[in-house]
């Protein structure tokens, strides 16, 4: 972290080591966050990498659906997100009730949900 106080960076690295945590940062995060991350990737690759890491604690530096996806894929790991209210405007464009309404109108239709949607929407797909 170029602009962060050295003691803050050292404290984060010490906590990460002490708690055996891995930090996954979305590629839109600022460079100072990316510098601390074990993985920097897009949302799909973050989900894939979370399962490959040998860490009992996963810290997701991204938005809510990224943490949900990591938690679903890693039920035995503790998944943390620094800001649980961090949302994605794309993910917010569809809600579970929207999927249910569409299914009611199109009973033979097929619903495909991409990684960039909430766990609740994925459950309806």
Supply the CATH number for residue 56's domain: 3.40.50.10800
Exposure class string for 34-65: b at 16+ Cβ within 10 A, else e: bebbebbbebeebbebbeebebebbbbbbbbb
CA-only gyration radius of the chain, Å: 17
Whether the predicted model's global pTM rises above the 0.85 cut: no
User: What would the pLDDT profile of 91-125 be if each residue is shown by its tens digit?
Assistant: 888 999 999 999 999 999 999 998 888 999 999 98
The verdict on residue 61 lying in a domain is yes
Tell me: pLDDT of 4 over 90.
no
Rounded to an integer, the average pLDDT of 32-59 is: 94
**Residue 38, domain extent:** 6-80
- How many domains does the chain fold into? 2
48 is a domain residue:
yes
Q: Are residues 31 and 67 in the same domain?
A: yes
Mean pLDDT, all residues of the chain:
92
Residue 54 lies in a domain: yes
Which of 95, 102, 100 has the alpha carbon at shortest distance from 118? 95
- pLDDT for res 110: 94
* Neighbour-count burial of 23, counting CB atoms closer than 10 A to its CB (0-12 exposed, 13-18 middle, 19+ buried): buried
The reply to whether 1 falls in a domain is no
Q: Tell me, yes or no, whether 55 lies in a domain.
A: yes
């Amino acid at each position: 972290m170029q602009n962060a106080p050295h003691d803050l960076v050292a404290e984060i690295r010490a906590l990460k080591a002490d708690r055996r945590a891995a930090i996954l940062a979305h590629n839109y995060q600022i460079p100072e966050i990316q510098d601390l991350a074990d993985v920097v990737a897009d949302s799909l690759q973050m989900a894939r990498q979370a399962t490959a890491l040998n860490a009992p604690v996963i810290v997701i530096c991204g938005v809510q659906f990224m943490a949900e996806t990591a938690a679903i894929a890693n039920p035995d790991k503790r998944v943390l997100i620094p800001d649980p209210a961090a949302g994605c405007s794309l993910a917010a464009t569809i809600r579970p009730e929207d999927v249910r309404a569409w299914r009611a109108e199109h009973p033979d239709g097929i619903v495909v949900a991409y990684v960039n949607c909430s766990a609740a929407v994925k459950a309806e797909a």
